[in-house]
Structure 1
Amino acid sequence: MKINLRGFLSNDFAKGVTLIAGGTASAQLLNTLLSPIITRLYTPEEYGVFTVYSSILGMLMIIGSLRYEWGIPIADNDAKAINLLVLSILILLAFVGVITTVLTFWPDFFLGFLLEDSILNYKYFIPLGIFFGGLYGIFLQWTIRIKNYKSISKTKINQSIVQNFSKISMGLFNFGPIGLIIGGVIGQSAGISTLAAPLIKDRKNILKSINKMEVMYCLKKYIKFPVFSAPSQLLNAAGLQLPVLFLASIYGTGVSGHYALANTIVNLPMMLIGSAIADVFYGEAATSGRSNPKRLKDLCKKIFRKLFIIGLIPLLILILLGPLLFSIFFGQNWYEAGVYSRILAFLVFTRFIFTPFGRIFSVFQRQKSEFILDFFRVILVLLVFWIANYYSFNSYYTISLYVLAMSVIYFLTFLIVNKVLNDEIKLRS
């Protein structure tokens, strides 16, 4: 089968995907090229601290604005979207305040629960990372609403440049884990001004649109996002981040380090194309999908077929050449990561072809279904690592079992999305 690339790129949807994918591709290429330098400037232990920090941040940042920002692209008009943006920022500030208070008075309990005491020295970088990461996410949703995909592409590149060169610069001066952490925070904040520029430029009209009653209206109207989407996304993030912590606990930091590197590299296709398609798909679905679910379902079918074919390429490469490529690119010490990449390639393939369609839950406000799926996902993760620990599985069997469980979840998500679309089509027929 051949992909009709010209046909695939001959519409606004594909142009949006191309813009974001281009920016993401450049950013990920830079990350990949510079990662061997970074791994040689920092010890595995230092990199481990940063990995734990990133895992904590990855879970908490998800609920920084209680997912109210996801309502910005689907708001009825720009005035409501602006008030929703303001509401999201206010909630983010409150959340950061709560996290800062908890880390100030109960740091041992909070971070001890997350299996890592060494992060205590860098605890105040957690709320800082949540704030900048959350702020970027809020303005990203506004940019998706106005379909300014060029700006999104630009920020992806800026983030990569700033983050990598910050880490390298501080690594040269032996900053240790704080160099990686500061580099991550700076990288997250890069691009906020670019995304916010249209709002700042039109600030007089924007300020006129902000109304306390409208903010309260948005608080109630989009209540399903904090009630279902925020917990659901938290569970989703936990499903992705907990394996690193569990692997470190069961097998040691060596295994978790190899797993983390393998997981980062094999997810490049997902970051390169999958996330871009998911963002643009949500923008298209939010503007026209609700009124024409039949057209949206047809779009899902077309995208699925193309993603399936595209996803086969990295899958086959990693299965055949994973250990060899990791040894050449990262050094012989990272051969084991290449072995893990073979296993993880199957999970990334299923995530790549199914993930974009999960946005359907938000478009039709079926957040409850999404929450149930993500709750089931975390239960499966906990079950996988309990079984692995109880039966003393080696790391290969454990990671393989995890991949199988998560792949089942992604396939089940796709089936439920199709049911949601069919139900919406029936309602309008």
Structure 2
Amino acid sequence: MAVGSGLGRLISLLAIPFATRIYTPEGFGVLAVFTSLVTILAPIVSLRYVLTLPLPRQTGTALNLLLLSFGLILAGTAFIMLALAIFSEPMLNFFSMAAIVPWWWLIGIGVLVTATYELMTFWATRRRAYGIIAKTNIIQNSAGALATIGLGVVGLNPLGLLLGAIIAKGGGLFWLLRDFKTDLFRIPQAITANRLATAAGFYRDFPFYRVPSQFLMVFSQQAPLLFAAAVYGAELTGQLSLALMALAIPVTLVGEAMGKALYAEAAAIGKSGSDRIYQMTKDTQKKLFLVSIPSGLVLFFFGEQIFYLVFGQEWEASGKFASLLSIYIVFHFTSAPLVQLLNIMANQSTFLRINVVRVLSILALFSFVFFTKIAAARFIFLYSILMAFFYIYVSVLVMHILKKKSDQVRADCL
């Protein structure tokens, strides 16, 4: 799965130098706001029941959760489309994004496609079908890159960026549905109102804790771009988005892929195997830390030169931003696989606490920046320092919880 995710992200990475020579920083700023809105909304519409799919021992229970999740996705998307039909123009104008007002409905399409793809990847994770996930990652990233470049060449700006982003987020959905059609055809036999209600009630902590937690987490991740769009304008937002996009590649390339694999293995072990989960997680952390250090140092010292050569003269400022942001990338990289393990430990309140801390910290920083009117580069530097401390806090906290569970299991065995 890590290889497939890596190849998919590598394809996206190889396409960026072509896209930066076709589209302007303003166009990337429009894409940044569009992607931020989809990224914030898509995880919420399922009420995070998708996370429960790998957990039940019985397939029938999992199929009930699959149907429940998809029904929530459809209902949530319909609500979002209605809200956008009424409020899209003032909202997008606030973020200096008048260019995508005519395409507001693409936000709803993006939410539906992204949420449904996530749903099916968690079903594939339950089946340990990592090869299928890898294949769809490669397909959709390739198709998204080709669509972005092709539509840009014929002059569809910024529409080409928006359509390319949607394809890259869910273009592999068809193959997931095809490969698991046998499971999907079993849904009518497995579904009963009682089993559906029982499954929803048993995992009720997910909508109660994970929905607000997920919103806070994703909002805090996307907030720098939304804040930059509202305060510094579309061009600077485009520069910042390219820097964040480049930095996100190693995290998603290996960190999140390893996180999904770790989550699946830990879910199979269960809470009774807390000692094994702790050791497995500790080993994963060490490997990720060693992998992340070289790339972080290279970006810190040579970010501007690299971006100038790779993406073009117009994107030198993005390289400067990447150098500043590289301060926290090592700690983000190592903490990426950890948070999902809280699902297995039934520790949803801790996940909520983590994200409350993050959002409050970021809002405090944004308030300071807004009132002091500091330059964009200084704002990005302060944000990078803040995130470095945050990810250290997350790693220490989650490892402490896992160690505590491990010690408890050992004590019970004595």
TM-score w.r.t. the length of structure 1 is: 0.91
Whether the aligned pair in 2 keeps the contact of 1:115 and 1:245 (CA below 8 Å) is no
Determine which of 372, 375, 396 is the counterpart of 1:415.
Answer: 396
| Unmatched tracts of structure 2, length 5 or more | none
Give the match's secondary structure for 1:63: coil
Residue 377 of structure 2 is matched in structure 1 by 396
Which of 76, 94, 116 is equivalent to 1:135? 116
2-structure distance, mates of 1:121, 1:93: 23
CA gap of 1:110–1:212, structure 2 versus 1, over 3 A, is farther
**In the comparison of the two structures, how many residue pairs are matched?**
410
> Is structure 2 residue 38 aligned with structure 1 residue 57?
yes
Counterpart pick for 1:273 among 251, 254, 258? 254
Counterpart amino acid of residue 247 in structure 2: V
Shift of 1:325: 0.9
- Give the alignment of 1:141-290 within 5 angstroms: 141-290=122-271
Give the whole-Å Cα distance in 1 for the aligned partners of 2:202 and 2:239: 45
Tell me, what secondary structure is at the counterpart of 1:358?
coil
Q: CA deviation at 1:279?
A: 0.7
Aligned equivalent of 1:318? 299
CA distance in 2, matches of 1:177, 1:337: 19
For 2:9, the equivalent position in structure 1 comes to 28
The Cα shift of 1:112 comes to 5.3
Which residue type is aligned with residue 133 of structure 1? T
Identify the match of residue 82 of structure 1 among 42, 63, 73: 63
**90-99 or 116-125: bigger deviation:** 116-125
Q: Which residue of 2 aligns with 1:119?
A: 100
Q: In the alignment, residue 260 of structure 1 is paired with which amino acid?
A: S
The answer for the alignment partner of 2:350 in structure 1 is 369
In structure 1, the gaps of 5 or more residues are: 1-19
CA distance in structure 2 between the partners assigned to 1:290 and 1:196 by the alignment: 31
Structure 2 partner of 1:292: 273
Q: Percent identity?
A: 28
1:201 maps to amino acid:
T
Measure, in 2, the Cα distance between the counterparts of 1:30 and 1:389: 37
Task: Mark the CA change 1:420 to 1:334 in structure 2 (over 3 Å): closer, same or farther.
Answer: same
Per-residue CA deviations over 1:50-73 (Å, capped at 9, x if unaligned) read 221111111001202011000001
Q: Which range is displaced more, 278-287 or 416-425?
A: 416-425
In 2, Cα distance between equivalents of 1:336 and 1:44: 10
With 171-180 and 236-245 compared, the bigger mean Cα shift is at: 171-180
Q: AA paired with 1:416?
A: L
Residue in 2 aligned with 1:6? none
Q: Which has the higher contact order (CA 8 A, sep 6+)?
A: 2
d(CA) in 2 for partners of 1:114 and 1:68?
31
1 CA distance for matches of 2:158 and 2:251? 27
Q: Distance in 2 between the 1:340 and 1:106 partners?
A: 32
Question: Cα 1:114–1:71, aligned 2, differ >3 Å: closer, same or farther?
Answer: farther
Task: Say what the alpha-carbon RMSD is for the aligned residues.
Answer: 1.7
- Determine the C-alpha separation between the residues in 2 that align with 1:176 and 1:246: 23
Farther-moved stretch of structure 1 (194-203 vs 395-404): 194-203
Q: CA deviation at 1:110?
A: 4.8
- 8 A contact 1:289–1:295 mirrored in 2: no
User: Which AA in structure 2 matches 1:217?
Assistant: T
| Correspondence for 1:44 among 7, 22, 25 | 25
> Which letter maps to 1:128?
I
Distance 2:223 2:97 in 1: 12
Could you tell me whether the CA contact under 8 Å between 1:102 and 1:110 is conserved in 2? no
Q: 2 CA distance for matches of 1:377 and 1:412?
A: 10
Q: How much has 1:397 moved relative to structure 2? A: 1.9
Equivalent-residue separation in structure 2 for 1:266 and 1:49 (angstroms)? 19
Structure 1 counterpart of 2:194, one-letter code: M
2-side partners of 1:303 and 1:213: how far apart?
A: 40
1:305 is aligned to 286
- Of 33-42 and 325-334, deviating more is 33-42
* Between 278-287 and 245-254, the greater mean CA deviation after superposition: 245-254
